[in-house]
Structure 1
């Protein structure tokens, strides 16, 4: 018996030793470590040195052959506070007891299955707008643009059902003939309109081919963003690798080409003809990524043509324009369309610089080449404004810094000097400043200080500092996002400032979609081709909303265009992925006002069930036109009838947003503005909504009644919103808050803007 006990004890002892040996010498793995930055001791000058010290405290004796620096893979300062490192299981466990440690996760391989904007919008195949609408099945999306490249894989019709009978289109116009063989169950129509263009520019007639084929690329990109089929293996030279698909990937596409020449020029007559044809053909949604500035509604081709589309129940998504952050720079401010601003996503294109001491820093990069710089000397050259001095270090990686944040001139100088590569330190990193052909990275000032300190430490020793560069890294989860991008045009609308525009923001920056393979995506002396291209602009955000509209139309075929627009607006997001108000890049990253953001950033899944909608009928729009002091002739140009009832003119359209203008002047004079709105219950039959108001400094906002009780679905209830306050002296000042109706399930939010315009209404 004693002998058996001894054997058991010996076996237990050996097992314990084996477990210890296995644990100690187990193969190391990569981990991503989240750290609490507020716990960093003041003795450390930067995050990397703190992480280095933390890791050195937990490194086991068996792993001392590798220094803590060599274990660190990346130091993260933007997407998160922390680092990634290669650790043994024992080191990993020990690290969990370190001060400032929050959590860690294994560096698992990822399966990329999208070019990201659908996922960024929360769309997924298991719940929400995609399965509810069957990916927009049988909804017809018309695209007014530069045409289409029908052979693109994004127009394949694998698995699609027969074309719905509501489609009345006939022609598929390619290559001087009605070549229907290039259309299919996905691409069900393709027509071109150039008569107006050729009449106006007859000298260009020999350069224009009568075809819907896209020789610009813009139309192929926008149409596949809205409703392109799923395509695996899409990328932009290694960036944005994954599966490309449109927002409504099972919707049908009908293309109407009316933009011609290298610049995609169009004339009003062709635009009106294209929209007219689209209505006849039976489209459900129109995506129009073009417009004109400073044009009255009755002279605006898109406004005129889309009024008819609205009457027929067609939802129209239009781009806000790319005129930047100036007040009142927006076009397509038409009250009966959706006007879409452009925002960023949480996906960024990165490159790395790895210093000779093992520190690896990441920054923005769009370099598409296969070049990789390994262990080259790295030097700091200040503003990099002296080309002759730069030529002396052409075999080096050159680091530049300019407090003005101007990178373009620096890149030009480095390219002329033929240096190995460039690292640009910027207080406002912007990927648009970079050159796709020159190996370069933009890093922020925190990482810039790390690089400069490293170079300085070697310079003081009269020895060479070295670094390596690598590219084509796609990063997800960037914070803060989304943001309204700087190019996106701002309200109020020139043509109708009394309706708050833009309506909503959608992804518009660095959007990957299909591209004609014979049109260069880049042209720097050498032409570069690819089947997909990455573009930025409100032209890219517009088709995102068109795709969302197709999903909503698929679920709610009886909803009006105004109801679908309202559903998107009142359920949109006003907070970014850090749970802070969405920022405006064009306004020094301050909180975005509704004149930049609209009601918020589109959220397709929440828009499925908005609870309440602000619906608008044709007569409501006529009442607005009458109140704009248009003549009957002006109104007829829009409504197409001379019999317009102007007995009840009103600037107060039943819109899911509010804007009031106050003359800048004597601050002792009080002002009062009252709005009347009617909401329709599209949620549960019986529900009670309570109002809450985000205060606006200097103004008192009240709503009567502040409680809405619905006893059945589709019932309508009206309320009044009153704004009272003193005048202000500052022109172009924008103050805003929100009116929110809440029941047990729904949050129905509308922006409220008070502004002092520097123009005559």
Structure 2
């Protein structure tokens, strides 16, 4: 809830003067990877009947029945024909998928809850930043249109256009789409621009992510008839510390709910390569690259592999390691939770750590649990939206 307080949404007088029944009559169509309907963010407590003007469908499918619909999730459809023409059968994904509106990726559930998640009290991540979680319009209804599939969230533009057509005809008031084609080519060659133009002509607001990703000039949704939204930081940080055996403390960022009872030995992963594995290959802490006898009972120092999205904490845990320090070029912008005590530190901070490891015969460290700090520095544009 702090996010909306920070943005000042609750102080917008025009919105707060609306009667509750008007707020709850708003129907938002979300075009993404589906939804996990059991999430508490989609409870319908306090909501009345579905607005009669909504003409959408409650399409059933794999692990998605009529029982998954309520006065919050009022409709759902899924699209796969365009995908299978472009990428082949869904079964060829080699990953879990549901041939239904159920979300196997998590992104669609995430975006739907941001847009219109219901009030959820006592929310938090293992005690980190606890409080009330809710979306921007918690009393609005959701109509879900699944166009992306698998853990990689692959999407077909033909399916996206079909979803735009259906959402317009279903009678939604707003369309939210967190997809972008990068690099942007032209309005006539971009499914989001085309679909949003048709919605705009029908008086439907289309809100879309900017689609920027680190490099300049990577914004994907630039059509003037789209409300383009870019992510930024806020006045809240998740701080954790690495206490070194020489009494120095590295303050950085993490989502670490674990508490270490004491200090443990620290090992550079390049010194813990499995037999036959070059030390440079082992530095990413990937599967089969580590010597378990060397990392057992120790905190392992790894380097983030920028070409991969998975995190090596599980590999270290299986090898008997008790913690991980991940060297990351952008530790604050991409916070991750590990399966063991872990923290992300900057390249500059790693120089202090490496100096300690090089000069102490038996280096030790302790990673502290994450604490939430409010009223921090002013916001900046995020690396990606």
Structure 1 length as normaliser, TM-score?
A: 0.41
Whether the aligned pair in 2 keeps the contact of 1:226 and 1:247 (CA below 8 Å) is yes
SS where residue 70 of structure 2 aligns?
coil
Out of 60, 73, 76, which is 1:190 matched to?
A: 76
For 1:503-514, list aligned pairs within 5 A.
none
Change (3 A) 1:130 1:239: farther
Out of 163, 166, 175, which is 1:286 matched to?
A: 175
Tell which has more relative contact order, 1 or 2 (C-alpha 8 A, sep 6+). Answer: 2
For 1:32-71, list aligned pairs within 5 A.
none
SS where residue 131 of structure 2 aligns?
strand
Out of 343, 351, 372, which is 2:260 matched to?
A: 372
Q: Matches of 1:230 and 1:337 in 2, distance apart?
A: 28
Q: Matches of 2:154 and 2:245 in 1, distance apart?
A: 52
Structure 1 unaligned residues grouped into runs of 5+: 1-113, 401-405, 489-537, 539-761
Q: Matches of 1:452 and 1:263 in 2, distance apart?
A: 35
Larger Rg: 1
Q: Matches of 1:202 and 1:449 in 2, distance apart?
A: 47
Hey, what does 1:308 align to over in structure 2?
198
Change (3 A) 1:205 1:468: closer
Hey, what does 1:163 align to over in structure 2?
50
Whether the aligned pair in 2 keeps the contact of 1:191 and 1:257 (CA below 8 Å) is yes
Out of 386, 397, 400, which is 2:271 matched to?
A: 386
Hey, what does 1:140 align to over in structure 2?
27
Change (3 A) 1:220 1:429: closer
Q: Matches of 1:427 and 1:151 in 2, distance apart?
A: 36
Hey, what does 2:4 align to over in structure 1?
118
Whether the aligned pair in 2 keeps the contact of 1:373 and 1:469 (CA below 8 Å) is no
Task: Provide the aligned C-alpha RMSD in A.
Answer: 4.1
Q: Does 1:153 align with 2:50?
A: no
Whether the aligned pair in 1 keeps the contact of 2:316 and 2:322 (CA below 8 Å) is no
Q: Does 1:482 align with 2:369?
A: no
Change (3 A) 1:478 1:210: same
Whether the aligned pair in 1 keeps the contact of 2:327 and 2:346 (CA below 8 Å) is yes
Q: Matches of 2:152 and 2:343 in 1, distance apart?
A: 30
Change (3 A) 1:415 1:312: same
Q: Matches of 1:147 and 1:337 in 2, distance apart?
A: 22
| Aligned-residue offset at 1:273 | 1.7
Q: How many residues align?
A: 354
Change (3 A) 1:134 1:245: farther
Out of 235, 252, 266, which is 2:155 matched to?
A: 266
Q: Matches of 1:483 and 1:257 in 2, distance apart?
A: 31
Q: Does 1:469 align with 2:356?
A: no
Q: Matches of 1:175 and 1:426 in 2, distance apart?
A: 41
| Aligned-residue offset at 1:228 | 0.7
Q: Matches of 1:423 and 1:206 in 2, distance apart?
A: 36
Change (3 A) 1:177 1:253: same
Structure 2 length as normaliser, TM-score?
A: 0.75
| Aligned-residue offset at 1:232 | 1.8
CA deviations over 1:152-204 (Å, ceiling 9, x no partner): 211111111333343232x1112269954432221111122333334455544
Whether the aligned pair in 1 keeps the contact of 2:63 and 2:98 (CA below 8 Å) is no
